[in-house]
Structure 1
Amino acid sequence: MKRIAINGFGRIGRLFTRAFFENKDLYPDMEIVLINAAGSSGAMTPYDVYYALMYDSNYGNFNRSFSFKPNVAILGYDENHIIVFGKEIKIIGENDVLKLPWKEYDIDIIVDCSGESVRRKEAEKHLVAGAKKVVVSAPFKKTEEAKEIPHIVMGVNQGIYNPEVHNIISNASCTTNALAPMLLPLEEKYGINKGLMTTIHAFTGDQRLVDAKHKDLRRSRRAGGNIIKTSTGAAGTIHLIIPSLRSKIKKIDGICFRVDTPAGSVIYLTVELKSNPAVEELVVVYKEYMENRLRGFMAIAEDPIVSLDTIGMPFSVLIDKDIQCVEDDVAGKKLYGVTGYYDNEYGYALRLVDLVAYIVVNMPASVLKLIKTPPVYDPFRQLEEN
């Protein structure tokens, strides 16, 4: 049984915990034993952590997920712990990473959701404190560090993970986790000449409720009632996930618009391919990947959905089957427009759990060699069974 600790209990830390327990039967080889709920505004108490996990404005009450288990004490707390299904999870509030008790608690993997470990020297502090592996729920800021540290999108490039070498791993960003499965079938089947992506993204905690200071002046404006243009790291890191997109001339670029919605985001991808397949053929290719390599990570929306329909969705991305296409009557090249919906909170948290589970089954002490073809973690496989 591998022992997991969480550092940071904001949106992703909470939803990682929720996603883990909602799908606990899929992850028998790992357990959460400690949460460090420190923060700039003060440490959270066990009751604070309990409350944050129990009540969620986007995803409803924690108990609602377990209504099929009557007369079971699902979630509680005491002076030093939260208690989930009778299992105690220690709650601490330590801001100094080097003082975190990873060695004392024999922590195998620390899941860093603090937003503070996106530089190598900060992430390495967890290893110094005694953790064996560090999984960061964000891409690394510096280009050279991002090249050295594996950025993994489950279903796409998890095979690059080497348990003997990689002790710090990034789960990339929520948008990258959605973009990569959109690009992979197109790149592998046809080749991509170039593309632009626009993400219409739900507001995040980094934005301001009212106009206030921020290093990004656009993000200093209130999140509500606004459409705010900002950068996205997804376009800049996608070549780390799909190396064939690396080029002297940037093949993929993009921008983000933050909008006034709490969760559920959309990517609109515009691409020129090396060949000119029919739109109907693209839909068939996406379905092939959905049923095989990207099973559990990508799906096709047959109905006319909107972004709120994706809240709580288990997939990394949901492709809209209505793909646009225009053709240059001189050069004969086609330009395709593909829409992909994604849950930027819970959907991303599920992939974070999947990545940790993948590392667990590939820990050096648990296998003789790296499993190149991973098991498929399909949290909602019961939908298919029903």
Structure 2
Amino acid sequence: MEEIKMNGNKRIVQVGINGFGVMGRLIYRLLDKHPLIDVVKINDLAPKSTLDYLLKYDSVHGRFDKGLENIEYSSESNPKNIFWQGVDIVVDSTPDLKTYEHLSKHLEQGAEYVIRTSPLGGNLEKTQTIIQGVNDNSLDLDNYRILSLASCTTNCLAPLVKLVKEFCQKTRNSVEDLDFVTVHAYTNDQAIKDSAHSSDLRRGRDVNNIIETGTGASSQIELFFPELKGKIFGTAYRVPVSDGSVLELRVKTRNGFSLEQFNNFVKLASENDLKNILRYETLPLVSSDCIDDAHTCIYLESAAQQLSNNKVKLGALYDNEFGYSSKIVDLIKLIEQKKFDPIRTTFEGYRTEMTVEAEGPYGPDCDDWDELNYQDVVKCLKNLETKNNWKFEENKTGKAQGDGTLYTNRGMYKIKIGWSGKYVTLLDQKGDTMDLSGDRKNHDFVRGEIGNEFHKELQKREIEYTDEDREWDEAMEMSPDDHE
């Protein structure tokens, strides 16, 4: 996991999943065919063979043809013992790790970012909560490395609340009260038969009941719309269906509220800013109709009612499993685009030149420094394609000078080949030269591999050199740091 993987000229983002329950398995399925994102490790307390079986056979979401044969697996309950070195993003979908103090252990063990698949608890100052279509434009990956998408209910509710507020602003109105009810499919936090529950007596009752329980969506909404604090209230009911949930939102405004105009407003948003997040549905659907729908809010025109001049009832469906997992994957893709796209971020801002001289063991004062010509250098770079599974794309600009791009497992480099093949210079994708103070180990490794290939080519020419030169050359073979 420690090496950087490339797909052509793109860096592959490596993902680990801690907790391979329903969410973890759906996220794995959704990422399976993504060309630039790989799930490389899973940590779960269940045996790997059991996880493999559950991945392939899902009672709600159907069959999945691939297993976990090539995935690294561990079974650690303490995040301090999970080795994430080389993993870019850890998705944590365990029941208990919900605070910065707990989740930061993943960062200490090598992860670059952590995404939590539930609302965060404790001190939120060092974390950021994102809702697609609501505040994803404010995603700050430089200052926050632990992220959350709140809850599945909040992901359905927040886009609706946003539209209500925007519609009120457009019509010179204001929100007075918001009340919502979610009728939610049961989860594995509930009991099948009556038994004790650690936090809610009602959740310990037989799953075939309609069970009123708490919801944190009210307080989560206030994270995005602080002006609604004290104005939004919610209730949740767990019902005996395996997937697919319903949301009802009642809105009271200061002035009159036209449901017909609001429906048109929602439909327009579903085709523009909230596309792929909110779907506008005219047919009268039931809860199972939303299963495997990636939208987090399916607005039901048939469920909307004008209760009075300034009161309306709105309705929506959401797949509390697949829809939410899809937005976790969308966040992973967004991180990939913002932080791991090498065209935008590889070696950005570096200023110090890094060269590899093609003079082998002969020393700077020897007449044989130009023994390799342009084509020799290109040949050496091409040799690395077979040896290291790298890729060199040549872009020749003249008879004796040219450039190209070298894609390696340690990064992507612009290549400038000097006159007569005397040296090559490694630059970043923007054309700026690189600063060896940043990630020097990886840069020197690439530099050393190129230098070694040059030396092998020079030695084929059987030019005599001294014992002192030979010792210097052998030292260079052993340590990339000596290629200076």
TM-score range, shorter chain: 0.7 to 0.9
The alignment yields a C-alpha RMSD, in angstroms, of: 1.7
TM-score, length-normalised on structure 1? 0.81
- Work out whether residues 100 and 126 of structure 2, in 8 Å CA contact, stay in contact via their aligned partners in 1: no
Residue of structure 2 in register with 1:35 after alignment: 42
Q: In the alignment, is the contact (CA less than 8 A) between 1:163 and 1:364 conserved in 2?
A: no
Is residue 266 of structure 1 aligned with residue 246 of structure 2? yes
1:384 alignment partner in structure 2: none
Among 295, 310, 333, the alignment partner of 1:357 is 333
| Matching residue's letter, 2:154 | T
1:299 aligns with 2:299: no
How far 1:351 moved relative to its partner? 0.6
For residues 70-125 of structure 1, give each alpha carbon's deviation from its aligned partner in whole angstroms, at most 9, with x where no partner exists: xxxxx24xxxxx14xxxx2212211121111102xx01110001122211110111
Q: Structure 1 regions of 5+ residues with no counterpart?
A: 64-74, 77-81, 328-332, 370-386
Q: 133, 137, 141: which one pairs with 2:113?
A: 133
Describe the SS at the equivalent of 1:135: strand
Unaligned runs of 5+ in 2: 1-11, 169-173, 347-484
Could you tell me whether the CA contact under 8 Å between 1:139 and 1:146 is conserved in 2? no
**Which of residues 133, 155, 160 in structure 2 aligns to 1:155?**
133
**1:50 aligned residue:** 52
Q: Which amino acid aligns with 1:344?
A: N
What residue number does 2:206 align with? 222
Whole-angstrom CA distance in 1 between matches of 2:72 and 2:255: 56
CA distance in 1, matches of 2:290, 2:255: 32
Aligned residue type for 1:36: N
Bigger-Rg structure (1/2): 2
For the residue of structure 2 that corresponds to 1:362, the secondary structure is helix
Matches within 5 A, 1:72-151: 75-76=66-67, 82-83=68-69, 88-103=70-85, 106-142=86-122, 145-146=123-124, 148-151=126-129
Is the contact between residue 164 and residue 364 of structure 1 (CA under 8 Å) also seen in structure 2?
no
Structure 1 CA distance for aligned equivalents of residues 249 and 26 of structure 2: 27
What residue is the counterpart of 2:298 in the other structure? 318
Displacement of 1:148? 4.8
1:218 counterpart letter in structure 2: R
Q: Any conservation in 2 of the 1:196–1:271 contact (CA below 8 Å)? A: yes
Match status 1:289 vs 2:273: no
Question: 2:257·2:312 contact (CA, 8 Å) conserved in 1?
Answer: no
Q: 3-state SS of the aligned residue for 2:58?
A: coil
Q: Of the two structures, which has the highest relative contact order with CA contacts closer than 8 Å and spacing of 6 or more?
A: 1
C-alpha deviation, 1:259, in angstroms: 0.4
Deviation, 1:147, is: 5.6
Contact 1:37 1:94 in 2 (8 A): yes
Aligned residue pairs, count: 327
Aligned-pair distance for 1:28?
3.0
Match of 1:340 among 289, 304, 316: 316
Are 2:41 and 1:7 equivalent residues in the alignment? no
Q: 1: distance between equivalents of 2:166 and 2:260?
A: 17
Cα distance, 1:274 vs structure 2? 4.0
Residue in structure 1 matched with residue 196 of structure 2 by the alignment: 213
User: How many percent identity over aligned positions?
Assistant: 33
Return the match for 1:251 from 213, 231, 239: 231
**AA at the equivalent of 2:206:** R
Which residue number in structure 2 is paired with residue 195 of structure 1? 178
For 1:20, the equivalent position in structure 2 comes to 31
